[in-house]
Amino acid sequence: MDTTSSDLRLNGVLERLEHILVHENDSIGRDPAFDVAASSAAKSRCLYELTRLSQAVGPEGLSPAAKRRLEAVRPVLKANEAKLRAHVEAVRAVTRLLREAVQAAEADGTYSYEHFGNRYS
């Protein structure tokens, strides 16, 4: 694959990836209808394409412009990682609160041994 063709393909994939990342970064925590799974699938497709391109070209086959483009995506990836970490922590916190609320509701004595006594022993 010639350098110009691989640069164009790489640039196209990186533009798509950056668009997906920026959209995800803007949507997480703001848009309750945002589909994290669909966004992850789109990022996975980009990763697959990048892997295929890197196998075809190799790191030594990248032009200086392609290397700069790759480096330009790095801060967006870092921001996405931070955003996803915060999102996962928020989900864990909500899950913990819900679990504790359910446990507290179940522990109100309604279904306790003391309530039913020895009826089923």
Structural domain total, the chain: 1
According to the model, what pLDDT value does residue 26 have? Answer: 95
pLDDT > 90 fraction of the chain, expressed in percent and rounded: 59
Question: Domain containing 87: what range?
Answer: 3-108
- DSSP conformation letters of 50-77: HHHHHHHH-GGG--HHHHHHHHHHHHHH
Nearby residues of 72 by Cβ (< 8 Å), 6 or more positions away: 14
Does residue 120 sit within a domain? no
Nearby residues of 86 by Cβ (< 8 Å), 6 or more positions away: 28, 29
pLDDT in tens, 48-59: 999 998 888 877
According to the model, what pLDDT value does residue 49 have? Answer: 95
Does residue 46 sit within a domain? yes
* 56-73: average pLDDT: 86
Question: In which band, very low, low, confident or very high, does the pLDDT at 105 lie, cut at 50, 70 and 90?
Answer: confident
Does residue 52 sit within a domain? yes
Does residue 84 sit within a domain? yes
| Residues 10/53, Cβ–Cβ less than 8 Å | yes
Q: Which is higher by pLDDT, 43 or 5?
A: 43
Does residue 113 sit within a domain? no
The whole-model pTM stands at 0.75
As a whole number, the mean pLDDT across the chain is: 87
- DSSP conformation letters of 72-102: HHHHHHHHHHHHHHHHHHHHHHHHHHHHHHH
Does residue 116 sit within a domain? no
Does residue 13 sit within a domain? yes
Does residue 47 sit within a domain? yes
